[in-house]
Amino acid sequence: MYQLEHTYFFYLLLIIPLMILVFFTLNRWKKNTQNKYVSSDLLKVLSPNISTFKPKVKLFLLSLFIFFSTISLVNPKIGTELKTVKREGVDLVFAIDVSKSMLAEDIAPNRLEKGKRIVSEIINSLNNDRVGIIAYAASALPILPITDDYSTAKTFLQSLSADMLSSQGTAISQSINLAKEFYDDEEQTNRVLVILSDGEDHEFKSEDIIPLVQQSGITIISVGIGSIKGSPIPVKENNIIKTYKKNEKGDVVISKLNKELLISISKSSNGIYIDGFNTEEVVNSVVKKLKDMDKKEFESKQFVAYKDQFQWFIAFAILFLSLELFVFEKKTFWIRKLNLFNE
């Protein structure tokens, strides 16, 4: 396991392409200027010791010096001590609706992207809690099992799309059943499922889902994404809207938020319903709900001691700088005899 202490120093690496650009631009200008007044053959006679290869070697060595100096400033650290740490938190599973109706753009940029943004912000605000991810449409698909690795969770989150499940619908019941398998302790009371959906095209009526919710023992926080007024579902090619989804009669389908279903699911599980228009309000409401819940103690292994590694990169930087200083732009007498650079 490693850490990068000062990542903002990576911007210094931009010096390298800039330096290369300036080098070749200046070389071209010098060559064009020389050709105006002196032929290349005459120039070789007048300046027999000029090397065309060594300046490029010096540039290469100088680039390596800047690269390794930058890495040393970033200060990579390697974990040296792995310990089992006990923490208290909540097991939080996100069930994200990836049906086609989530492509509606009544909430910017669209419902699905808004849902992913909300989940990402909630993860950023967590501390000792564990998270898992489920994607669902007409069926539910496990994306990420319960983990305390937030960076991995956000990576998997960004991979979600409306094309990952071919069958369409909103099988909330299947996502609830799948979520039950994520929790590793049947007796824990802090199991939370966050459903992010427009609640439309559901396969089951609310009266069919509520008994399932009550039997699951899961607290459900539902986030309604979309508007009651609704919006057409765009069909895009190369990110350009070509048409809108239509029904069998040829009429444009208007996708609307089914707020009542999501509210009833949350109420039956001692959870809460939140409108998804304001990301900050959703995050604050979820965090407040989690703070009010009992915390479960669980163990996880993590590195608690890290050792600096910058000194290795400084050594390489000094080495390449020393080599650059000892490489002269002009040909030297004994090297010219060896003709190492084929000049």
Strand 2-4 relative to strand 296-308: parallel, antiparallel, unpaired?
unpaired
Domain map (residue ranges) of the chain:
2-75+309-338, 84-300
SS3 92: strand
pLDDT at 296: 64
- Give pLDDT tens digits along the chain (343 positions): 667 888 889 999 999 999 999 999 998 888 888 777 777 666 666 666 666 778 888 999 999 999 999 999 998 887 666 565 666 788 899 999 999 999 999 999 999 999 999 999 999 999 888 899 999 988 889 999 988 889 999 999 999 998 887 666 667 888 888 988 888 666 566 789 999 999 875 555 555 677 888 888 899 999 999 999 999 999 988 888 899 999 888 899 999 999 988 999 999 988 999 999 999 999 999 999 988 886 666 555 555 566 788 899 999 999 999 998 888 766 655 455 555 545 5
Q: Any idea which architecture 84-300 has in CATH?
A: 3-Layer(aba) Sandwich (3.40)
Chain-centre distance of CA 336, in angstroms?
Answer: 53
pLDDT at 24: 92
pLDDT at 5: 82
Chain-centre distance of CA 238, in angstroms?
Answer: 22
CA angle 89, 93, 99 (to 5 degrees): 160
CA angle 255, 256, 262 (to 5 degrees): 125
SS3 191: strand
Q: What tokens were used for 126?
A: 């967590």
